[in-house]
């Protein structure tokens, strides 16, 4: 009961969606769209579990005064402030029928003042990490690492005048060795070959994993076959 029914549900839903790809007849035609809306609704219910866990962890920290408990107060208060502003549509010009993100609402103000700059700044950290990663990773230790280095180097030179001065003097027949042309070639030939092989591999991996899930060979959350 606890094990066979979940396996049956996964088998039925997975198979129905695969078959729906080939049958345009009424029930199957909108199966994919309907199931995706069902999935979104389940995900909204799951939010209660997730949000509840977040609050429990931080309130627990505050109660037992564990390490950095003072910061947990920031998380909990930020959470309730934004949730109240959003669900109650505080400050929304046309009240309940107005959009929850309408300009002038507290929710929009908090989004513009805190969420958006924090997100953009965390994203911009990548510029620093790209530099430290390339300093450490692009070393000609092995043949593979050398190819990685050379390919990245050609592309990195492109926007810099260094790239231009390094190769502009090459005579006409060697024109394809000019950095702009060379980087175009590296991007559209070896890079495309590698990406294509990876995508073919991934597609086969996903086809096989989906099949294992549908046939119940891969059980993860139900525990291995033994028990």
Partner 1 sequence: MAEAEKTEKTEGTEKKGTFVEKMGSVDRRIIFLLIGLAVLIPIIIEYTTAIPTSPLVQNLFDKIESLPPGSKVLMSFDYGPSTVPENQPMATAFTRHIFEKGHKLYLMALWATGPRQSEALIEDVISVEFPDKKYGEDWIHLGYKAGNQGLINTLLSDFTAMYTTDLDGTSIDEFPMMKGIGSLTDFDLILGLGSGFPGTKEWVQFAGDPGDIPVGGGTTAVMAPLLFPYYPRQIVGFLGGLQGAAEYEYALIKQYPKYEEKSRLASTSMGPQVWAHLVIVAFIIVGNITFFIERSRRKRY
Partner 2 sequence: MEGQAILTTPLAHAVGVWIGALLTLMIFSFLYKDNPFYKFAEHLFVGVSAAYWMTVAFWTTLIPNLIARLWPSSMGSVLPSAVGNERNWWYLVPLVLGLILLTRLIPRIAWLSRWAMAFVIGYAAGTNFTRYLQSDFVTQVQSTMVPLYEPQGTLMATIGYTFSQIVVVGGVICAVIYFYFSKEHKGSFGRAARVGIWVLMAAFGASFGYTVMARISLLTGRMDFLYNWFIGANW
Partner 3 sequence: MPKGLVLSALVLAVAAFTVHAQGEPPAPADSVMQAQSAPAPSVRPPSALRAYDTPNDHGSNITIEWEVSPDDAAPGSPVTGYEILRSENPDGGFESIATIVGSATIYADNSVEDGVDYYYRVEALAGTGTSDPVQAGPVTASQQWFDRSRANLLVISVLLIAAIITYVYLSTTRELYIRKIAGLEAVNEAVGRATEMGRSILFVPGIQDMDNVQTVAGVAILGHIAQRTATYETDLNVPVSRSIVMSVGRETVKQAYLEAGRPDLYNDDMVHYITDEQFGYVAAVDGIMVREHPAACFYLGAFFAESLILAETGNSIGAIQVAGTAMPTQLPFFVAACDYTLIGEELFAASAYLSKDRKMLGSLKGQDAGKAIAMLAMLIGVGLGTLATITGSDGLMTAYQWLKRLFSLNY
* Residue in the block written with tokens 């002038």: 104
Closest Cα partner for 20 from 8, 7, 33, 10?
Answer: 33
Q: Are 179 and 164 in contact (CB under 8 A)?
A: yes
Q: Write down the least CB distance from residue 8 to partner 1, Å.
A: 41
Choosing among partner 2, partner 3, partner 1, none, which partner's interface includes residue 105 (Cβ < 5 to 8 Å by kind)? Answer: partner 2
Is residue 95 at the binding interface for partner 2, with CB under 8 A as the rule?
Answer: yes
- Residue ranges in 69-108 that form contacts with partner 3 under rule CB under 8 A: none
Cα–Cα distances (Å) from 68 to 75, 79, 89, 128, 211, in that order, read: 11, 17, 32, 27, 46
Query: What is the x/- site pattern for partner 3, positions 173-212, by CB under 8 A?
Result: ----------------------x--xxxxx-xxxxxxxxx
| Cα distance between residue 152 and residue 183, in whole Å | 9
From candidates 23, 174, 177, 197, binder to partner 2 by CB under 8 A: 197
CB-wise, 165 or 204, nearer to partner 2?
A: 204
Helices and strands in the chain, H and E counts = 10, 0
Is residue 118 at the binding interface for partner 3, with CB under 8 A as the rule?
Answer: yes
Is the CA virtual torsion 79, 85, 89, 92 positive or negative? negative
Is residue 29 at the binding interface for partner 2, with CB under 8 A as the rule?
Answer: no
Contact residues for partner 1 (CB under 8 A)? 127-128, 130-132, 134-136, 138-141, 149, 152-153, 156-162, 164, 168, 175, 178, 180-181, 184, 187-188
Q: Write down the least CB distance from residue 170 to partner 1, Å.
A: 13
Q: Are 157 and 163 in contact (CB under 8 A)?
A: yes
| Cα distance between residue 89 and residue 97, in whole Å | 9
DSSP 8-state assignment for residue 112: I
For partner 3, the binding residues (CB under 8 A) are 18, 21-26, 29-30, 39, 42-43, 46-51, 53-54, 57, 67-68, 115, 118-119, 122-123, 125-126, 129-130, 132-134, 136-138, 148, 195, 198-202, 204-213, 215, 217-218, 220-227
């Amino acid at each position: 009961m606890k094990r066979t029914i979940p396996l049956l549900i996964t088998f039925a839903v997975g198979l129905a969606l695969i078959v729906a790809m080939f049958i345009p007849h009424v029930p199957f035609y909108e199966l994919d769209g309907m199931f995706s809306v069902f999935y979104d609704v389940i995900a909204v219910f799951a939010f209660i579990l997730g949000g509840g866990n977040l609050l429990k962890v931080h309130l627990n920290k505050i109660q037992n005064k564990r390490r950095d408990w003072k910061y947990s107060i920031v998380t909990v208060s930020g959470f309730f402030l934004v949730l109240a502003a959003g669900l109650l549509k505080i400050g929304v010009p046309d009240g309940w029928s107005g959009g929850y993100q309408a300009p002038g609402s507290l929710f929009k103000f908090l989004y513009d003042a805190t969420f958006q700059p924090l997100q953009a700044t965390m994203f911009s950290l990548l510029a620093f990490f790209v530099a430290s990663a390339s300093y450490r990773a692009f070393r000609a230790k092995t043949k593979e690492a050398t190819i990685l280095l050379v390919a990245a180097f050609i592309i990195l030179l492109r926007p810099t005048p260094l790239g231009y001065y390094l190769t502009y003097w090459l005579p006409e027949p060697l024109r394809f060795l000019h950095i702009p042309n060379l980087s175009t070639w590296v991007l559209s030939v070896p890079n495309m070959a590698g990406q294509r092989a990876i995508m073919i591999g991934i597609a086969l991996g996903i086809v096989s994993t989906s099949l294992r899930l549908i046939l119940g060979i891969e059980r993860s959350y139900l525990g291995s076959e033994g028990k």
